[in-house]
Amino acid sequence: MKSVAFTHLGAVREKNEDAVYADDNMQLYIVADGMGGYAGGEIASHMALDIVVKDLQEMNGDMAGAGADQCLDEDTLRENLRQAVYHANDSIYQCYSKEADPSPMGTTLTAVYIYNGVAYVAHVGDSRAYLIRGGVGMRQITQDHSVTGEMLRKGEIKPEEAKNHPKRHMLTRAIGYYPLVDVDIMVLPIEDGDMLFLCTDGLYNLVSEEEIYQSMLSDGAQAIPKLILAALEKGGYDNISAISVVCG
């Protein structure tokens, strides 16, 4: 695996509440977009990222044990991912609920863990993961847990209407806002030469999927700096984060 990860302060933001993690040795890639009061979103996104990374290192390492030829099965990997996100949700919720004057804070989280040629994806919120396969095209792996995402799936609005809809930033799921959270878990076989692209809404709301696709085809893992610059040139009204992964 070969990855490139960037996070950039938006043109009109005072704080970067996004967080990214990319580890080609562990083959774990995460983007998180925090939200909340003063410093709350930044704390939430980094807490979620740190907890998921640590939990997966411990759970998967412990279960694999010392035997190099012992493989973790799909059900175990799915459950480990789910439990790691549950742990992050509980920790963030407890963090702000114990404050004297709590301000709700939360975060999106999209994580891809690659094991034995299979991508395991855990997802909450409206950050995104895409699969790009040469000769086939690009498709969004995740579903947006947002008001506009729900409206799109019900056919109530068209894709071009969603980008400027007044409720486009309203989430229907986030980590840390409530005691419990539903986590989408997807399993996706990958091939050598496939590319994965993870990003927060600060990128995809300003840069089209076609621009992402063409840039990834021409520049591979080095596409991200150009895409971030394109988003900034179009206003950069939100923080911008992305990870590209070339598989193989």
Residue 157 DSSP label = S
Question: Which amino acid, 90?
Answer: D
Q: 191, 236 in Cβ contact below 8 A?
A: no
Q: How many CB atoms lie within 10 A of CB 4?
A: 17
Note the pLDDT of residue 61: 75
Q: How many CB atoms lie within 10 A of CB 105?
A: 28
Q: Look up the pTM and report it.
A: 0.91
Exposure of 134 in the CB half-sphere (CA atoms within 13 A): 10
Note the pLDDT of residue 66: 39
Q: What is the pLDDT of residues 80-100, one digit of tens each?
A: 999 999 999 999 998 876 554
Task: For each of the domains in the chain, give its residue range(s) and CATH number, in order of start.
Answer: 2-246 (3.60.40.10)
Note the pLDDT of residue 153: 81
- Cα–Cα distance between 199 and 110 in angstroms, integer? 9
Note the pLDDT of residue 11: 82
Residue 125 DSSP label = S
Note the pLDDT of residue 68: 43
Note the pLDDT of residue 13: 77
Note the pLDDT of residue 161: 72
- Give the residue among 163, 164, 179, 185 at the shortest CA–CA distance from 109: 185
The ranges of the chain with pLDDT < 50 are 64-69, 100-101
Note the pLDDT of residue 102: 60
Note the pLDDT of residue 99: 57
Note the pLDDT of residue 67: 45
CA torsion, ordered 174, 35, 91, 57, to nearest 10 deg: 80
User: What's the chain's length in residues?
Assistant: 248
